[in-house]
């Protein structure tokens, strides 16, 4: 009707037809893009990749999980000796990406973790390593306190041979070395000691037993220089003791729960010594350690030191003992926490004496069992 007010209209109705279609296409395209992005993120969060994440774990006490039957024990002393763990889990694509950006996390290829094993086989091997580590730690601790311990075995079983050493052409996994230059080998440590007596380029005459071959046979193995120490010889094999058995003067039990691996050996040895001595081995301080231990009391390198150092620092520990070969690596993540390098059980006791645990240290170095 002439003169009537105009009806209100939607603003879009006045836009050119082409602009509306373009806007709808843009919205549809944006929605598809967001949907694809969400799908990619969800997929990355769910799809497993052939990597493991090595992240900071925890610090676990030793003394409260050590029980002794048949000898005086003192489990409620001041201070604490803890062993360190890492968190190890399979990675998704998203977790691997985040891990690569996190300096406290290592993203490790599956092959480096599992080798040729399945994850379950690797887990079972780690639990066996933990059992062996506890027995060796018990033997070392008791002998350091003056107790008699009998250790027996029937040879050094070859677990692995480095592919780049001469021994790789003559030895294989499963072989058992029973003598070196005619001298009997009962324990894996006996073989280690024999190798340590040699220099790079020297030869060893090995007596070897192999499945499928009725009689032992002789092979000559050349030594090579260690990659990290050209003056030190190595055969290039990792071994374990066949039929390893211990006879202890009394029963020591260490409850390690579901944790596997050999890297708590030093911690268990020190924890057992602390339980068996009337005063604190740590002078009342909180101490954490990592490192394997052999029957001669030597401390060996372990993996995951950056992650363990972060876990120890977060736990508020006073002192962290690490294998000397991994000391620099630990310092990078230690902040103002005290870190000390050790090569042997005696080295660890020397450091602990600086915390005021001198009485226990002196008793631990005595010639006879500690008593009340």
Tens-digit pLDDT profile for the chain (372 aa)?
445 444 444 444 444 555 555 555 555 556 565 555 555 445 545 567 788 888 999 999 998 899 999 999 987 667 889 999 998 888 888 787 887 888 888 888 888 777 777 878 878 887 888 888 999 999 999 999 999 999 999 999 998 898 989 999 999 999 999 999 999 999 998 998 898 888 898 998 999 999 999 999 999 999 888 887 788 888 999 898 999 999 999 999 999 888 888 889 999 999 999 999 888 889 889 999 999 999 889 999 998 999 999 999 999 999 999 999 999 999 999 999 999 999 999 999 999 988 877 545 555 455 445 444
Strands (E), the chain: 48-61, 66-69, 80-92, 106-109, 150-152, 156-161, 176-180, 183-184, 203-209, 217-222, 224-226, 229-234, 237-241, 245-247, 251-254, 286-289, 292-293, 299-300, 319-323, 338-342
Helix or strand (DSSP H, E) at 30: helix 17-46
Q: Which residues make Cβ contacts (< 8 Å) with residue 241, sequence separation at least 6?
A: 153, 155, 156, 157, 186, 187, 188, 189
Other C-beta atoms lying within 10 Å of the C-beta of residue 325: 17
Cβ atoms of 198 and 175 within 8 Å: the answer is no
The domain 151-241 is placed in CATH, from the list 2.30.42.10, 1.20.1250.20, 3.90.550.10, 3.30.1860.10, at 2.30.42.10
Considering the entire predicted model, what is its pTM? 0.76
- Sequence spans of domains, the chain: 11-46, 56-86+130-146+252-364, 151-241
Q: Name residue, tokens 């990597």.
A: 51
Looking at the domain 56-86+130-146+252-364, which fold is it? Ribosomal Protein S5; domain 2 (3.30.230)
56-86+130-146+252-364 and 151-241 in the same fold: no
């Amino acid at each position: 009707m002439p003169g009537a007010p105009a009806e209100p209209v939607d603003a879009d109705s006045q836009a050119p037809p082409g602009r509306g279609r373009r806007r709808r296409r843009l919205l549809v395209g944006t929605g598809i893009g967001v949907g694809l992005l969400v799908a990619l993120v969800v997929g990355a969060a769910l799809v497993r990749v052939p990597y493991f994440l090595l992240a900071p774990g925890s610090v676990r006490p030793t003394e409260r999980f050590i029980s002794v039957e048949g000898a005086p024990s003192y489990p409620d002393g001041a201070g604490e000796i803890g062993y360190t763990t890492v968190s190890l889990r399979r990675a998704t694509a998203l977790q691997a990406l985040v891990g690569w950006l996190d300096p406290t996390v290592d993203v490790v290829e599956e092959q480096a973790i599992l080798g040729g094993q399945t994850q379950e086989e690797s887990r079972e091997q780690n639990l066996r390593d933990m059992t062996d580590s506890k027995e060796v730690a018990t033997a070392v601790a008791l002998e350091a306190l003056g107790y008699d311990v009998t250790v027996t075995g029937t040879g050094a079983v070859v677990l692995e041979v480095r592919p780049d050493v001469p021994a790789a052409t003559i030895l294989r996994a499963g072989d058992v070395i029973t003598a070196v230059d005619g001298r009997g080998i009962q324990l894996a440590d006996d073989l280690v000691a024999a190798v340590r007596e040699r220099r790079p380029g020297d030869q060893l005459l090995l007596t070897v037993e192999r499945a499928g071959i009725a009689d032992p046979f002789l092979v000559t193995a050349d030594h090579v220089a260690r990659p990290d120490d050209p003056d030190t010889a190595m055969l290039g094999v990792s071994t374990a003791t066949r039929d390893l058995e211990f006879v202890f003067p009394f029963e020591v039990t260490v409850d390690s729960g579901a944790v596997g691996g050999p890297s708590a050996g030093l911690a268990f040895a020190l924890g057992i010594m602390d339980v068996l001595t009337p005063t604190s081995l740590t002078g009342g301080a909180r101490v954490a350690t990592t490192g394997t231990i052999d029957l001669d009391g030597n401390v060996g390198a372990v993996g995951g030191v950056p992650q363990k150092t972060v876990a120890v620092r977060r736990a508020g520990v006073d002192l962290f003992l690490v294998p000397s070969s991994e000391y620099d690596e630990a310092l990078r993540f230690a902040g103002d926490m005290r870190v000390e390098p050790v090569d042997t059980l005696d080295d660890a006791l020397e450091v602990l004496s600086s915390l005021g645990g001198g009485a226990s240290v002196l008793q631990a170095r005595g010639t006879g069992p500690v008593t009340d």
